[in-house]
Amino acid sequence: MEKSDKGLSAWQLTMMALGTVIGGSFFLGSAVAIRAAGPAIIISYLLAGALVYVILFALSEMTVADPAPGSFRTFAQKAYGSGLGFVVGWVYWSGLVLAMSSEATAVSIILQKWFPALSLPLLGVVVIIGVSVLNLLGADKLSKLESGLAAVKLFAIIGFVVLGAALISGLFPGSSEVGAGALLAEPWFPQGLSGIAGSMLIVMFAYAGFEIIGLAASETSNPYETIPKAITYTIVGLVGLYITAVLVLLPLIPTDTLTTTESPLVLALDRWNLGWAGNAMNIVLVTAILSTMLAAMFGLGRMIRSLADEGHAPVWVKDKGDIPYRGILFSGAAMLAALGMGFFLPQQVYLFLVSSGGFALLFAYVVILATHYKLRKENGCSPEGKCQLPGYPYTSWIALASCILIIVSMPLVPGQGAGLAAGMALVVLFSGIYYGQKLYSKKVAGTLTVNKQALQFETAEELAPDETRLEQEKDAKRQ
């Protein structure tokens, strides 16, 4: 691909990735992981960062060789056949649609505090329609919007770090020096290795969404240079921000006082009488969720277009232009349907479905690693000579085993057993649909072949000379 002035830059792609990744999972969900591991949560964030590094560079290596619109789904299809391409594409799309419908509900609950006259369903519908319409503007305009929203989140984390550091060191006006604070009163490994293992799933969710870099690769100006740069910026930015924020958080509040209903950053600031900063953080939480939904919709539209191009989705979803209008609208409609399910289905059933979102992401990461291992083994480096993943194949094996271990350990985390069950149900469902379609197509093709042969035979009979009639004519002439 020749370099062009048009397309997403490494910085735009990085901000889009950060917009997807830094969401409710960190600002709100990190409380679960921190409670499970205690101060040892730092190890969990480092391990997860190393795992994300391997996955991203495996994806980058394949993307540089072939910046296909379907990214990891297309690569999986090349490596293992259309069956896996179909299943991973639909599992990822379905899981993300369900997860984002849940995010729409979460942001609606916060917005209703500011707009009490509006109902939750109405707010949820407005949010999803708004996210869909903004995606119709195209990658360039969306990336600029995402850059702004991502900047808000980044500045919020940086602001928390600055305030927390001022409290710890006693530099904040009117406050006494916190010092090591809460860290002095609790063990560093409250639950041992099991606590770290139990926190890994939630921490991985805090990093989830980085695969947007692969899905956006076809819209970059020069993927050979842009993708590796964007990945480096994303990894350094994420690991640095997360670990710094948690290091500042730990002295400010005991980990066993954190709750799942409020952001640990907000609780830490409230504890030291900085309620105004906590209120500002709630605004950031809304921004974070909306930003995540925007970037997720970007990936959903391109994933469904990739499926349609391969004949794995309805023909009417196909798009020929740069912006997958139909894929975005179809994904938005599915999100609205999932939102409706949340209000009409029993809560247990809806939570069971929504919990598949985490599994869908982990399943995609397993597929990325397995696909990269096979393609690298069979084809070597990409045509550009970009062998970016260090330590291959050992890093691939370790990362693949780690992802599978995290999936298997899902039932050990409260509430995530349903996620594993729902995710496996999606895999079985789409596998059944794919092979059912394949058998049906073979049956139809066989029927058409038989009918065609029968028609040819009947035509041949009609055109063939009537031997009996010819013999009778010959006998009449002799007489």
- The per-residue pLDDT for range 66-95, each reduced to its tens digit, is 777 667 898 999 999 999 999 999 999 999
H helix runs in 38-138, sequence order: 41-65, 72-80, 82-114, 120-135
Judged by DSSP in three states, 65 sits in: helix
Say what the pTM is.
0.83
Q: How far apart are CA 382 and CA 223, in angstroms?
A: 13
Q: Residue 38: what pLDDT?
A: 86
One-letter amino acid of 82: S
As a whole number of angstroms, the distance between CA 209 and CA 457 comes to 59
For residue 26, the tally of other CB atoms under 10 A from its CB is 27
* CB contact at 8 A, 85 and 310: yes
In 136-222, where does DSSP find H-type helix? 139-169, 192-207, 212-215
End-to-end CA distance of the chain: 85
**Polymer length of the chain:** 479
Amino acid, res. 456: Q
φ, ψ of residue 461 to 5 degrees: the values are: -65, -40
* Nearest CA among 272, 290, 254 for reference residue 111: 290
pLDDT of the residue at 2? 37
Tokens of 184: 């002095």
Domains in the chain, please, with CATH?
10-441 (1.20.1740.10)
**Contact call for residues 76 and 367 (beta carbons, < 8 A):** yes
Angle at 338 between CA 332 and CA 341, to 5 degrees: 150
pLDDT at residue number 4: 41
220 beta partners? 8
Closest CA to 310 of 1, 84, 67: 84
User: How far apart (Å, rounded) are the C-alpha atoms in residues 198 and 449?
Assistant: 56
Mean pLDDT of each 10-residue bin along the chain, 479 residues long: 57 78 78 85 92 88 76 90 94 92 86 88 94 88 82 86 85 66 74 80 83 73 80 87 91 83 82 76 84 88 90 86 89 94 79 81 93 89 68 92 90 80 93 89 68 57 52 59
Contact between 6 and 221 under an 8 Å Cβ cutoff? The reply is: yes
Q: What are phi and psi of 29, to 5 degrees?
A: -70, -20
Beta carbons of 327 and 301 less than 8 angstroms apart: yes
Alpha carbon dihedral 381, 382, 387, 393, in 10-degree steps, equals: -50
Are 190 and 34 a contacting pair, CB within 8 Å? Answer: no
Name every residue whose Cβ is closer than 8 Å to that of residue 361 and which is 6 or more positions away in sequence: 92, 95, 96, 204, 205, 208, 209, 211
